Structure 1
């Protein structure tokens, strides 16, 4: 098996709540976007290449940014998250009404031809810290055929400016037992609440969440193929429905695949709303300035 470590960055999002392309926002101390900070962290941890899943209209500007900030010898590749790039069995569905691609599981599916070995998978617009990539590199090198994640305490991942979406994790003995997508998580009247699989409910403040900081072997693509095909068969008349990566991971767990968990020891930072940018820039400057 190819053991070269690849960083897959999902950078095709529209940033509807942010009001623009978050993946291009100049947030670092030198004006770097978050994805550049992540790539630099990954390089320091031993990752040899990156694959960026993007929309075609972002390629020119991203190329300029990466050329400016990255070492000249670091290999990176672009691929597009195209609405019609689906598993063969799903191509029979009528998607003429579809308004956008199929979510984060579909984004990773788009990278399948460019990844042959163990991979880390992250969002383009989040800051994870060096230690997260060190954990991923160590885990993927030790267990290149297994899956893993770096989880974050939920209270460190919220926004003061509105609700956020998170994958809520149940962890036992260092392994992930379940992960479920929760939407619109926010603090109300002194407690955390959100919309989970069973509807609106409260969450324990010590909960661990997925911030899309995953480690996978290429076996993830087989699970995506099956689950995405089933999802599209069930949801093909919904113009905005999305198949999330936590659902794919949950399907793998139910198949008996172990998913190892490390807990982050550095802050996660991200911008969900425009109002988040000032605080995030300040924190990044504090964390990264010499």
Structure 2
């Protein structure tokens, strides 16, 4: 099974490249704890998507640490990576978005895979549940979203964006992207729309279990996206939108798999101290060895 980690963000609110910040007790990146949890649950292929200038940094850091029998692909998400026959002549600095990051891995993945953010900690049970789902749905077109509870995913230091889910039983119906969620008076308020939430809603933290059929769908969407000059200049392609379009078209089913664990992330610089403390606490409790990787 493959774990695809997205690490191409610029960390503008964090102030530096948070994906490559040494948050662990022995200087580990946050993503290394996710890789460790994935390997314990049978994942044997790690794909990391990052900016071109960070490919060597990531390879040089990870390859000596993770076991030698684990396949590692570090790929660059580049603006010039377009579908055959397509072109873009406008000006653009930001990557094409998370769906394009997934599409970057189209030539190295040929089976079910989990995809998630490299700068989030998802909890050990989330990887176990995702791995079990991938094994059970190895040859069908059923996707999964590893779901978290909204109130458990907020930041004390500012608003956050989350995909608020509508769920019927364990079936995902839709994902509503809310961009400025903050806790207020025991509830959660979206500052953009004014929508109010109880905090008990299931949300997407961009942890999906996908089938390779998503690559063809992303390419089709990307072609349409590039044909619209306004979109191509100012917008991005997002995984939830792609999955939702496949779902609404009846091309796939999507199950919501409970994470069963805790989550934390590093959105703001002020989140760093808490993340460092969390990782130290989990290490002290014996949930992770110290150092995380034995010498090879």
* TM-score scaled by length of structure 2: 0.90
* TM-score scaled by length of structure 1: 0.92
- Structure 1: how far apart are the matches of 2:186 and 2:150? 15
- Structure 2: how far apart are the matches of 1:77 and 1:274? 29
- Structure 1: how far apart are the matches of 2:24 and 2:162? 24
- Structure 2: how far apart are the matches of 1:238 and 1:118? 29
- Structure 2: how far apart are the matches of 1:95 and 1:284? 44
Matches within 5 A, 1:73-92: 73-88=69-84, 91-92=86-87
Aligned twin of 2:206: 212
| Length, aligned pairs only | 282
Aligned twin of 1:243: 237
Tell me how far 1:72 sits from its aligned partner.
Answer: 2.4
- Structure 2: how far apart are the matches of 1:60 and 1:118? 27
Aligned twin of 2:130: 136
Q: Superposition RMSD on alpha carbons, in Å?
A: 1.7
Structure 1 residues without counterparts, runs of 5 or longer:
none
Aligned twin of 2:30: 34
Structure 2 residues without counterparts, runs of 5 or longer:
287-296
Cα contact 2:182–2:191 (8 A) shared by 1: no
Q: 3-state DSSP class of the match of 1:105?
A: helix
Aligned equivalent of 1:172, options 153, 168, 171:
168
Aligned equivalent of 1:272, options 259, 267, 274:
267
Aligned twin of 1:120: 114
Cα contact 2:63–2:72 (8 A) shared by 1: no
Q: 3-state DSSP class of the match of 2:26?
A: coil
Which 10-residue stretch deviates more, 183-192 or 45-54? 183-192
Matched, 1:69 2:51: no
Cα contact 2:52–2:78 (8 A) shared by 1: no
- Structure 2: how far apart are the matches of 1:143 and 1:48? 17
